[in-house]
């Protein structure tokens, strides 16, 4: 019997700075209602889905940025999402900014900020939490940039690794599910850590500007989308898994996000793609047995991986210069 789950990427159009969470949540509940009508069993929302992509805004006093963060999940404002999950029998993935009071690596309990995502069951239970590891951007105001990207100012590096959980979802007894957030998708290490836990479905939310502000905007628009898709398609193929990659899209606070949400199969093929820059639901029936081909042949990790040759992957951060050839 094949293992099929119907999934949706619930792309969201822009959320402006002044818009309250209640408006975003209302839009998300509408998307869940539409998903239910289409027989969807798991809905994936974008990164930082409750507010505008606030790391583009500079707060000199960092504590002022706390208004963008959630202190509890669920909360009064996000409860309608959990209610909709129960009402429609749909699981969901949500990206949000999390503030937590917890110990750091030195044992000091303090207020900590993370770019977080959760996977929620159709019963409203939080099955898995992930905190973004690869934080792009910068920590200080950069006068050269037209639009800031201050993730390194507002978030700490995620401290939960790349976890995978096996849990029931839709009509299936168990699916191996993992998450990554936006920039993580560009790092093969992130995919492989999930792959090494037999992930079958990766939920991934993103907010990606149409222009590369670091490069003065010279990177062509179509290459921005291409690199996003290339990374996700390669990650799925090389780790024999599905991905539901969901964007926030359109012009938000005057800055453009490119959208192009996709669902990808373990062959690396795009099986659904968003075409608007607005709230849009794309769906696919994912037969998880498709994961078996890659993981028992080309990417049978137990047979073919050579970790003894991969020492640099974890032993080193930046690239070093190679040895220079000299004529004997």
Give catalytic status of residue 236 as yes or no: no
Give catalytic status of residue 200 as yes or no: no
Q: What is the largest CA-CA distance in the chain?
A: 74
In the complex with ligand CDV, the residue whose CB is nearer, 160 or 172, is 160
* Minimum CB distance to ligand CDV, residue 40 (Å): 25
Active-site option among 41, 98, 151, 182: 182
In the complex with ligand CDV, the residue whose CB is nearer, 52 or 121, is 52
* Minimum CB distance to ligand CDV, residue 47 (Å): 6
* Minimum CB distance to ligand CDV, residue 54 (Å): 11
Q: How many CB atoms lie within 10 A of CB 287?
A: 14
Query: Is residue 34 packed enough to be buried (19+ CB in 10 Å), middle (13-18) or exposed (0-12)?
Result: middle
Give catalytic status of residue 248 as yes or no: no
Strands 164-169 and 126-131: unpaired
Would you call the peptide bond into 74 cis, given omega within 30 degrees of 0 as the criterion?
Answer: yes
- Residues 226-258 as b or e (16 or more Cβ within 10 Å = b): eebbebbbbbbbbbbbbbbbbbbbbebeebbbb
Which tokens in the block code for residue 173?
């007894």
In the complex with ligand CDV, the residue whose CB is nearer, 206 or 237, is 206
In the complex with ligand CDV, the residue whose CB is nearer, 124 or 188, is 188
Active-site option among 132, 236, 241, 291: 132
What whole-number distance in Å separates Cα of residue 265 and Cα of residue 291? 8
What whole-number distance in Å separates Cα of residue 323 and Cα of residue 328? 14
* Minimum CB distance to ligand CDV, residue 268 (Å): 19
Active-site option among 41, 47, 70, 280: 47
Binding site for ligand CDV (CB under 6 A): 47, 136-137, 149, 182-183, 186, 206-208
* Minimum CB distance to ligand CDV, residue 314 (Å): 22
In the complex with ligand CDV, the residue whose CB is nearer, 129 or 185, is 185
Active site residues: 47, 132, 182
């Amino acid at each position: 019997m094949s293992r099929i789950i119907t999934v949706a990427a619930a792309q969201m159009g822009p959320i402006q700075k002044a818009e309250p969470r209640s408006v975003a949540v209302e839009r998300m509940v509408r998307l869940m209602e539409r998903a239910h009508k289409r027989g969807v069993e798991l809905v994936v929302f974008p990164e930082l889905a409750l507010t505008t992509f606030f790391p583009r805004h500079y707060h000199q006093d960092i504590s002022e940025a706390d208004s963008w963060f959630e202190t509890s999940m669920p909360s009064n404002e996000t409860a309608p999402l959990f209610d909709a999950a129960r009402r429609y029998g749909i699981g969901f993935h949500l990206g949000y900014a999390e503030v937590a009071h917890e110990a750091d690596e030195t044992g000091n309990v303090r207020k900590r900020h993370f770019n977080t995502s959760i996977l929620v069951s159709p019963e409203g239970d939080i099955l898995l939490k992930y905190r973004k590891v690869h934080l792009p951007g910068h920590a200080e105001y950069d006068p050269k940039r037209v639009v800031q990207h201050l993730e390194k100012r507002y978030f700490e590096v995620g401290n939960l690794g790349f976890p995978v959980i096996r849990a029931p979802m839709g009509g299936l007894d168990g699916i191996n599910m993992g998450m990554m957030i936006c920039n993580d998708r560009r790092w093969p290490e992130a995919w492989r850590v999930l792959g090494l836990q037999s992930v079958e479905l990766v939920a991934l939310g993103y907010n990606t500007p149409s222009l590369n502000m670091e490069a003065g905007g010279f990177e062509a628009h179509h290459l921005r989308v291409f690199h996003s898709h290339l990374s996700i398609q390669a990650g799925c193929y090389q780790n024999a898994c599905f991905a539901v990659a969901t964007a926030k899209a359109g012009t938000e606070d005057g800055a453009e996000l490119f959208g192009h949400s996709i669902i990808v199969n373990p062959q690396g093929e795009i099986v659904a793609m968003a075409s608007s820059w607005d709230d849009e639901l794309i769906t696919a029936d994912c037969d998880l047995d498709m994961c078996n081909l890659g993981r028992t042949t080309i990417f049978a990790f137990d047979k073919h991986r050579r970790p003894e040759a991969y020492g640099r992957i974890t032993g080193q951060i930046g690239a070093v210069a190679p040895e220079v050839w000299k004529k004997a």
